[in-house]
Chains A and B, each alone.
Chain A
Amino acid sequence: MSYRYLPMTDADQEDMLATIGVENKEELFEDVNGTIRLQRPLNLQPALTEMELVKEFEQLAAKNTTMKTTPSFLGAGVYHHFIPSVVSHVTSRSEFYTAYTPYQPEMSQGELQAIFEFQTMVCELTGMEIANSSMYDGHTALAEAAVMACGQYKMKRQKLLISAGVHPEARDVVKTQAKGPGLTVEEVAVTSGATNEEALKQVLNEEVAAVIVQYPNFFGTIEDLRQLKEQAEQAGAMFIVKSNPLALGMLTPPGEFGADIVVGDTQPFGIAAQYGGPHCGYFATTKKLMRKVPGRLVGQTVDEDGRRGFVLTLQAREQHIRRDKATSNICSNQALNALASSVAMAALGKQGVKEMAYQSLQKAHYAKRKLQEAGCKLPYEGPVFHEFVVELGQPVKKVNELLFEKGFIGGFDLGQIDASRNEEMLVCVTEMRTKEEIDAFAEAIGGILS
């Protein structure tokens, strides 16, 4: 069998082994001895040529229903948006995607500058002073933010209050992360789709390191950040906001409400759903907290001749220097996806990002009216961006099966997070859905409900 990725010929091998001074390659493995040496071939599927491989993958791909061919009303943290074709043209440049972390700045100015631009764009959207080069995803970025907040109080405050309006999986990730340092995580109830400010007041005290909310929250509601921040501040706790960056194209940024840390996922910009990953977490905060930030930061500097250039900076925070004194272990991040998001944001531009947010807002509200006309109940009155909850009066699971038969991917079944809410559907509408699709979707639901 020949392998197109392996250039060593028999003659090469003979030459090289002679240079090394061994008779055969086995001698190089003599220290891998006894019982631990694998005495049989690995039991794997047979190797495929490129031709066979493509066929195999096309068959696997064909078993999946895609949002490209079946209009989707799913959101709940992953959004189907338009991706300009330039995005994949840029990320397919192999100088970017076959490089690693820019440890050698003189030969990595392209990546470093692209990240510096990404950091700037995240600051613009969130209204924050600094941003890092990316995190794995929005949820783990939130978990890092939560731990960082406790660290800021030197672990004298070890309690985190997290709104039940934060994505349920993000809440779970925060709870898992909190087990390491032994932090307490308490949930604050949501009433009528928004964080219950009275409930928050009840549990806020000087043990609380941070109040964590999502904006717009998991149920679509635009939380009242001013009130929530005020409460957090009164208790001397930090205010952490998880936010969809596209919404911030239109909404007042959390920075303006005094958020201490803003995190989220830039997936809406240029990153496909990909069954949930890889996406791209962002992490933005204040200058005051700059030296506590997890992950990589790119800074501007000059070279010996005074020419502008970029480097990885403030590395004394990171695991490779601090080892067991580090407060985060993140190393690899999501650089290529940060690049994809940068390209998407640059292509859409100042006007386009706003327009995409505006269209999503308008179409979601149009859909909301249409679904109401079709017999859905709207349990909440608070303002929403591009997602909202509807009550169907019958199990969403069943409705979604019928919708699928009619050619739609229905919204998120809230029964998945709370069995008692199995008749509530979280509907998302982006600029990708046409009026025709929305009308047909509402009609289909109307038909099912009647």
Chain B
Amino acid sequence: MREQEHTLIFEESAPGRRGSVLPDLDVEETPVSELIPSEFIREKAPDLPEVSELQLMRHYTSLSTRNYGVDSGFYPLGSCTMKYNPKINEEVAKLDGLTNIHPYQPEEQVQGAMRLMYDLQTSLAEITGMEEVTLQSAAGAQGEWTGLMLIRAYHEANGDTNRTKVIVPDSAHGTNPASAVVAGFETVTVKTDERGLVDLEHLKEVTGEDTAALMLTNPNTLGLFEEDIVEMAEIIHEAGGKLYYDGANSNAILGIARPGDMGFDVVHLNLHKTFTGPHGGGGPGSGPVGVKADLVPFLPKPLLAKTENGYTWDYDRPQAIGRIKPFYGNFGINVRAYSYIRTMGAEGLKRVSELAVINANYLMKRLEPYYEAPYERYCKHEFVLSGKRQKKLGARTLDIAKRLLDYGYHPPTIYFPMNVDECMMIEPTETESKETLDAFAEAMIAIAKEVEKDPEIVQEAPHTTPVARLDETTAARKPVLKYENPDHEKEPARL
């Protein structure tokens, strides 16, 4: 339903209202002017909201109703693994002993937290087939960059300073080339062949003495398993390069195949995806990095170690790439992932991947008669469809996505990967029931039929959301990035 414009919290404010009150100050006061030079005392208080506690709760509750999460409904956002976020994870992560602990407390005071982290990194090493794992990286992109910095340090330590290039498939997520460049490499793109897999011949052409690494997801972003992975690893390793595994798609391989066994040297995992994070509206995530033995010396400081006297932080790592993140990573997210792994166990995690793959293949099969499936193969945990057929009839993939909102679904990832025209990338995950998949398939089929009979209803969608399609062009051309209080005197521009 279309709604009235929603007020900003600043527009609900009135001077004097409080949503939280502190106890009276219980120490002797010293005039501030005696403590801080006047130049550094703020003249005008920051114009923060002034609302009562109920106003605040209504404001944010109302905002939450204008949002959509996995608990609201089906969220088949490809490459994002929008699976159920177990409630018990949230509860254990909020235990006092895991929440109100300071990163600089002496190790003896936080052995429980350190044990949890150690067990998690050991579990992740086993799941990925790696020698050692660091939990430091905050998210997937930071994991990628960390991994590439490790590879860079490895080559440099071998005096191999001419390895300036990182090979990235044309179907890769944008963070892959961006991370490579931020780590100081140039990127080379390797093509996808008609099977939807890396073109081996092209890979051989682009691999050489300047190859530092190949970055790959497996299954790839088309949801297809790179069945030539062993041969690819040989090509890269023979040339002296390293293999980087982007773990964004690891929901398909838990307990089935391990990146370490496939020949990968470095891997990152997205704990907020595969291991139920949750996604938090865009974060915080956690992107641990695992490596084979020859890269262990380069792992960032500090590294968590187990000794006879308990767990300890090892800072004495002369070859480490340095520090990549304050403290020890996103501990709170790591707690949730550990809770998930302990709940599922080995058999459960394998079942997760099996069901994720069955769900994706089932949904693909149901939609194939209506939307073009560009690759005739079984997919893994996700698949892509092309909206080419619908585009010819006047409805673009964007329109189909917007129409799905009217049916109450979060749309798939769209226009990615870029090597598929009018792409829709659908990842149902294992936590969805057959009934949900069937209902979603019916909605997609109904939309396909609408495109044939009445494309306007699709072109003009969404019809039922709180707001209609938003003007993104003006938003970018004349950016308004904060609220301007109309009562404020104009501050002098500082440009």
Contact = CB atoms under 8 A, between A and B. Distances in A.
Contacts of B420: none
Contacts of B345: 1, 44-48
* Interface size of A as a range: 35 or more
B482 A84 contact: no
B132 to A, nearest CB: 16
B109 A99 contact: no
Contact of A7 (B103, B349, B432): B432
A56 interface: yes
B331 A275 contact: yes
B161 interface: no
A280 B64 CA distance: 20
B439 interface: no
A350 interface: yes
25 contacts: A1-B347, A31-B227, A38-B257, A42-B126, A44-B345, A63-B110, A104-B410, A108-B67, A114-B63, A117-B8, A117-B483, A119-B481, A250-B42, A251-B36, A251-B40, A252-B43, A272-B100, A277-B332, A278-B138, A300-B480, A310-B470, A314-B479, A326-B178, A349-B51, A350-B48
B341 to A, nearest CB: 7
Nearest to A325: B181
A62 interface: yes
Nearest to B472: A311
Contact of B41 (A16, A251, A304): A251
Nearest to A273: B102
Contact of B184 (A16, A105, A181): A181
A57 B281 contact: no
Interface stretch (A171-179, A186-194, A371-379): A171-179
Given A19-B365, A169-B327, 9 more contacts: A36-B229, A41-B255, A45-B119, A59-B112, A62-B112, A109-B466, A121-B48, A351-B16, A363-B25
A222 interface: yes
A331 B115 contact: no
A61 B112 contact: yes
Contacts of B359: 8, 16
A332 interface: yes
Contacts of A274: 98-99, 101, 331-332
B325 A139 contact: yes
B49 A72 contact: no
A302 B68 contact: no
Contact of A66 (B47, B100, B411): B100
A152 interface: no
Interface in B115-169: 115-116, 119, 123, 126-127, 138-142, 144-145, 149, 152, 168
Interface string A308-339: 11110111101111111111111111111101
Contacts of A95: 64-65, 67-69, 71-72
Interface in A1-60: 1, 3, 5-8, 12-13, 15-17, 19-22, 25, 27-38, 41-48, 50, 53-54, 56-60
Interface in B317-362: 321-333, 339, 341-352, 354-355, 357-359, 361-362
A308 B470 CA distance: 9
A350 to B, nearest CB: 5
B46 A124 contact: yes
Contacts of A57: 92, 95, 98, 339
Given A117-B8, A140-B325, A251 B42 contact: yes
A99 B139 contact: no
A325 B494 CA distance: 29
Given A290-B481, A349-B19, A331 B175 contact: yes
A160 B466 CA distance: 47
A100 B82 contact: yes
Contacts of B316: none
Contacts of B75: 99-100
Nearest to A330: B141
B472 A301 contact: yes
A31 B109 contact: no
A182 interface: yes
A126 to B, nearest CB: 9
A275 B103 contact: yes
Chain B CB within 10 Å, residue with most, of A22, A182, A275, A314: A275
B111 interface: yes
B60 A309 contact: no
A15 B325 CA distance: 48
A233 interface: no
Contacts of A159: none
Nearest to B229: A36
Contacts of B205: none
Nearest to B94: A88
Contacts of A7: 431-434
B281 to A, nearest CB: 4
B332 to A, nearest CB: 4
Nearest to A383: B36
Contact of B99 (A272, A280, A435): A272
B174 A277 contact: no
Contacts of A255: 494
B428 to A, nearest CB: 11
B9 interface: yes
Interface in B13-58: 13, 15-22, 25-30, 32, 35-37, 39-43, 45-51, 53, 56-57
A347 B19 contact: yes
B416 interface: yes
A287 interface: yes
Given A66-B96, A120-B10, A136 B284 contact: yes
Contacts of A301: 470-472, 474-475, 480
Interface stretch (B206-214, B272-280, B450-458): B272-280
A329 B60 contact: no
Given A42-B255, A100-B82, A275-B327, A86 B95 contact: no
A207 to B, nearest CB: 19
A106 B467 contact: yes
A204 interface: no
A67 B100 contact: yes
Contacts of A212: none
A111 interface: yes
B100 A80 contact: yes
Interface string B455-495: 00000001001111111101110011111000000000011
Contacts of B247: none
